[in-house]
Structure 1
Amino acid sequence: MALKLFSVMIFLVLNVSFSKAALDVHYYDRTCPNAEKIILEAVRNASMHDPKVSARILRMFFHDCFIRGCDASILLDSTPQNQAEKDGPPNISVRAFYVIDDAKAKLEQACPRTVSCADIITIAARDVVTMSGGPFWNVLKGRKDGRISRASETITLPAPTFNVSQLIQSFGKRGLGVKDLVALSGGHTLGFSHCSSFQARLRNFSSVHDIDPRMNIEFAQTLRQKCPKPNKDRNAGQFLDSTASTFDNNYFKQLLAGKGVFGSDQALFNDYRTKWIVESFARDQSSFFREFAASMVKLGNFGVIENGEVRLNCGVVN
C-alpha cells in the first residue's frame, strides 16, 4: 500500500452553517496534542496486517455520517432492548471496528475523556485515504458522540441499485450537491463488494436484456465467473477498482469503459447530470483529489451535535 502521507496538502477551514456545534482544526491542540498521531499509528498498524482496513474505515465513515450525522452511532453495540446500526442489513459487512477501539484505548491512556469516537472515525477516514496515495486535508474536530443507534434507520443508506435521481435526493438530504455525490462515490476506488450487491446485473436483468446493457460485456462475463449461480462462496466478490489498494482516479476511468460494478456507480456515467463530472475526474486526478477532500470535510460536518458526549468505550454510551 502506497504511503504518500502528504501527497496533496489541502487546508480547509470551513464555516459550516448546517452544523449545530462549532468545529476547529486546533480543537485538541492543548487538551490532546498527540491525538492525530495516535490515531494514525493505530490505523497504520492495522493496515499492515489487513489490506482491507482502508476500504473498511472509509465505508464506516460514510455509513456513520449518512444516518444521524457524524456521531459514531455506527459503533454502538446492540442491546437486548435495541438493535443498533452496526447490525442493520447494510452494515453487516462493515468491519474494522477494532481499529477504532484500539485508537480509543490509547487515547484514553494519553488524554482521558477528551477525544470523541466520532472524531476518531473522521480522522481515521482521512488517514486511510492519505496512506493509500490520496489527498491530505485538515480535519475539523470537536464532534460529540451520539447516544441513539437504530438498525431500522440504515434503510436510508444509498443502495447499489440506486439511479442518479435517487442518489441526488439521498445526498441532498445530507447537504451535499451533485459534485459532492460524484466525488464521494470516487471513494469506491478502495472498495470491495460481495456478489449479492451486483449479481442482479449479471443474469435475467430485464425482460429484454440478460445482462445490464450498460456493462462492458467482457467485464460482465468475468463477474459471472466470479459469481456463479448458485454461489456457495459467501466471500466471493469483486474490487470496485482495478487498483484497489491505491487511492486514484481509476474508478472513474472504469466507468467510462462500462466497468462500474454497482448499478449506482455506472449510472453516474449514463446520466447527463453527472456524466461530465465523471469525465472530468477521469481526465484530471488532481481535480478529483481536491473535490474529494472538500466533500469529505463537508460530509464530516453534517449533523454535528452539541449535546452529545465523549464515550469512554465506543461501543456503549456512558
Structure 2
Amino acid sequence: MNAILLSFLIMFMMITLAVIQAQLRNGFYSSSCPSAEAIVRSTVESHFNKDPTIAPGLLRLHFHDCFVQGCDGSILIAGSSAERNAVQNIGLRGFEVIDDAKSQIEATCPGVVSCADILALAARDAVHLSDGPSWLVPTGRRDGRISSSTQSSNMPSPLDSVSVQKQKFSAKGLDDHDLVTLLGAHTIGQTDCRFFSYRLYNFTTTGNADPTINQSFLELLQAQCPKNGDGLRKVALDKDSPAKFDVSYFKNVRDGSGVLESDQRLWEDAGTKSVVQNYAGNIRGILGLRFEFEFPKAMIKLSSIEVKIGSEGEIRKVCSKFN
C-alpha cells in the first residue's frame, strides 16, 4: 500500500510540475515589459565585472529560494525572522544585485516584473557570464507573501548522506540525475573551511582524515585550512577552474578531490556515481558538452518548483519587503 501511495504521489507531483511549467512561459514580459530581461542581464554583468564571485552567489541564492516554499522570492525578504536569516542560509550573497535590477525595472515597468523572475533570470545570466551555457527562462512567477526562517530546515546540507540528499531533492520533484546535475554548480564558488575541516583532522572522531580524500588534495586542503585556523577562510569548491563553469567539478569528485563531504559521497552511491562518471570524462570532450545541455534542463525544472502564478502572491515593489 505504501509503495502504491508513493507512486501515486510522485505521479501527481510530475503532473503538477508539467502544468506549472506550461503556465510559465518564455517571453512572458515581451509585451508588458520588453526590456526586463535585458535590464537584468546588464545589471548582473555590471556587478560581475566588478566581482566575478557574485556569479555563484546569485546561483546559490536562487537555489535556496526555490527549496523553501518554491521559487517565489521569499529568500529576498529582509527581517530578523525572515528566511534569509536561517542558519542554513548563512553566507548568501547577491541581494544587492537583485535590488539593483528591480529598481531599474520598476522605473521602466512599475508593478509588472516579479522579484522571483528577476532572481531566476539573474541565476541564468550568472552561469553564462562564467563561460557556462545560457537558456530561455520560462517566466510568470509571482512573489510570495511569507518568509520565515523556521521553514528552511529541509535545505540540503554539506553533511547530508547521499540518501538524505536524494530524499530532499525528491520531495521537490527532482530526481537523482537532477541532484548530480545541479550540484555541478559547485564548479564555481567557494565554501568556508568550517564546513569541511572535520574531514581533514578528525573525521568521525577518529583523529584521522577522511580516507576518501585524495592524499595530495588532502595536503592542499590542510595548507589552506590549518588545524584550529580561521574557519571563515574561503576555499574554492573546484580546485582546477574555480571561476569557469565547466565539468572539472565532476572530475574532482571522481578523483577524490571533492571539498564537501556531500559532494564526495556522490562517488560512493551507484546511482549518482554513474552520472558523475558520464559528466567527468575529458574536460574538453563531448561529455562536457552534455553537461552544458543537461544543466539548463535541470535549472528549468528547479525554477518551476511550487511557483506562484496567476492571481497568487503579489508583484513586489521592493524585493526586500512585502507590499
- Fold-level similarity (TM above 0.5): yes
- Please give the secondary structure, in 2, of the residue aligned with 1:39: helix
Trace 1:202-281 onto structure 2 (pairs within 5 A): 202-206=200-204, 208=206, 210-231=208-229, 233-241=230-238, 242-281=240-279
1:317 to 310, 315, 322: 322
Shift of 1:305: 1.4
Equivalenced residue count is 301
Give the structure with the larger helix fraction.
2
| Whole-Å separation in 2 of the counterparts to 1:229 and 1:268 | 26
- Look up the match of 2:197: 199
- Look up the match of 1:25: 26
- How big is each residue's C-alpha offset from its partner over 1:25-63, in whole Å with a ceiling of 9 and x where there is no partner? 021000000111000000000011112110100000100
- Look up the match of 1:69: 70
Extract unaligned runs of 5+ from structure 2: 1-14, 282-286
- Look up the match of 1:52: 53
- Please give the secondary structure, in 2, of the residue aligned with 1:193: strand
| Whole-Å separation in 1 of the counterparts to 2:254 and 2:21 | 40
- Look up the match of 1:282: 280
TM-score by length of 2: 0.90
1:97 to 95, 98, 107: 95
Shift of 1:15: 9.1
Shift of 1:16: 3.6
| Whole-Å separation in 1 of the counterparts to 2:52 and 2:232 | 15
Trace 1:62-141 onto structure 2 (pairs within 5 A): 62-78=63-79, 83-141=81-139
- Please give the secondary structure, in 1, of the residue aligned with 2:20: coil
Q: Which moved more, 1:220-229 or 1:295-304?
A: 220-229
- Please give the secondary structure, in 2, of the residue aligned with 1:155: coil
The letter for the 1-side match of 2:157 is A
Shift of 1:235: 3.6
The letter for the 1-side match of 2:299 is M
- How big is each residue's C-alpha offset from its partner over 1:131-186, in whole Å with a ceiling of 9 and x where there is no partner? 11111110000000001111122221100011110111010011000100000000
Change (3 A) 1:296 1:281: same
- Please give the secondary structure, in 1, of the residue aligned with 2:68: helix
1:301 to 300, 304, 317: 304
- Please give the secondary structure, in 2, of the residue aligned with 1:137: coil
- How big is each residue's C-alpha offset from its partner over 1:192-248, in whole Å with a ceiling of 9 and x where there is no partner? 0001111111111135561111111221122122212322x3541310012111100
2:175 paired with 1:177: yes
| Whole-Å separation in 1 of the counterparts to 2:260 and 2:321 | 34
The letter for the 2-side match of 1:187 is A
| Whole-Å separation in 2 of the counterparts to 1:289 and 1:93 | 27
| Whole-Å separation in 1 of the counterparts to 2:62 and 2:155 | 12
The letter for the 1-side match of 2:75 is I
- Please give the secondary structure, in 1, of the residue aligned with 2:191: strand
Percent identity, please: 41
| Whole-Å separation in 1 of the counterparts to 2:85 and 2:138 | 29
Contact 1:160 1:263 in 2 (8 A): yes
Shift of 1:21: 8.2
Contact 1:56 1:96 in 2 (8 A): yes
Shift of 1:20: 8.7
Contact 2:194 2:232 in 1 (8 A): no
Contact 1:64 1:71 in 2 (8 A): yes
- How big is each residue's C-alpha offset from its partner over 1:59-78, in whole Å with a ceiling of 9 and x where there is no partner? 00100000111000000011
TM-score by length of 1: 0.91
Contact 1:20 1:305 in 2 (8 A): no
**Structure 1 runs, 4 residues or longer, greater than 6 Å off:** none
The letter for the 2-side match of 1:56 is G
- Look up the match of 1:147: 145
Contact 2:70 2:306 in 1 (8 A): yes
